[in-house]
Amino acid sequence: MELRQVRYFVMVAQELHFGRAAERLHIVQSAVSQQVRRLERELQTELFDRSARQVRLTAAGERFLPEARALLAAEERARAVVAEVAAARATTLRLGTSTGLGAHLDRVLDALAGSAPEIGVELVAGRTRERLDQVAAGELDAAFLRGEAADAGRDGLRYVPLWQDPLVAVVPARHPLAASPGTIALADLADVPLVLTDRRNNRALVDLVVTACHAAGFGPVPGPRYGSLDDALTAIGARGSAEGMWTVVYEAHARRLSTPRVAYLPFRNPGMELTTYLAVRRADPTAGLEALLRACATSTAADGPAR
């Protein structure tokens, strides 16, 4: 049984005339007659008495009519539910995020809520490559990332520069460098083991730090690897004054970390910062995405433009 057959049956039952039913359905009369006949064959009974000059419902047709109307009403309810879900999804932005966006993300969300309060936001965490794949597939509307992707331009995405994220050094609070007033030079860390994630996890960050160390005249001493940033910071904080390890975190993230026994030191070396981008599809943006881009521009104005 097809819904269109039921729909044609109900229309003929209302009009008691195949020609008028066809006119209201905007199709030819033969199509209405054909589909009603197929419905009758499937139900193995005649729904209309066609013997008189006027079309009449049979007893079976009379019994079937309210059930047919209920079936069409259920179809309308089902369509309405799907339309409601689709409308909700259309007004909800799914954004891929990364650790340490800090107050930057807060300002973007505040600006978006102020300019487009009807748009909801769902934040989705994940690795950089996963977030970009989801944006390209339409599973995310946009994703924040630091440093442009290695294969930028190959996956139908464009990267909108937003703001600069300075890096700070993290050293044990008992290490002599922690007592240094103001900023720290990368060269001061030449003999201290560096704790970094694998390059495949954060290519932009690892390349920036290693390149900066070489520019400062040394190759970083590799330190141990840890499963998470929290583990690395805890291990660094446990080091004594005569030993040490160091790593880097984003300044915006450092303001929110509460790891004890570590010190956060700004670099005086130039270039110790990464640009944060918003990855979006190259296709025409939706109204929600346009509102997000405006919110990013508004929040970025407080930080100064990305270079």
pLDDT at residue 89 greater than cutoff 80: no
Residue 218 has phi, psi (to 5 degrees) of -150, 155
Give every CB contact of residue 27 below 8 A, 6+ residues apart in sequence. none
Residue 157 has phi, psi (to 5 degrees) of -110, 155
- Residues 287, 250: Cα–Cα separation, whole Å: 31
pLDDT score for 215: 94
pLDDT score for 301: 64
pLDDT at residue 176 greater than cutoff 50: yes
Q: What's the predicted TM-score (pTM) here?
A: 0.64
- E-assigned strands of 65-146? 92-97, 120-125, 142-146
pLDDT at residue 182 greater than cutoff 90: no
Residue 179 confidence class, pLDDT cut points 50, 70, 90: confident
pLDDT score for 154: 58
Q: Could you tell me the CA-to-CA distances from 246 to 178, 226, 286 in Å, in that order?
A: 11, 13, 43
Query: For residue 24, what are its two tokens?
Result: 């209201």
pLDDT score for 305: 46
pLDDT score for 189: 93
- Residues 140, 152: Cα–Cα separation, whole Å: 17
pLDDT score for 146: 86
- Choose between 11 and 91: higher pLDDT: 11
Lowest mean pLDDT among 157-166, 179-188, 277-286: 277-286
pLDDT score for 307: 42
How would you class 195 by CB atoms within 10 Å of its CB: exposed for 0-12, middle for 13-18, buried for 19 or more?
buried
pLDDT score for 273: 92
Q: Are the CB atoms for 198 and 133 separated by under 8 Å? A: no
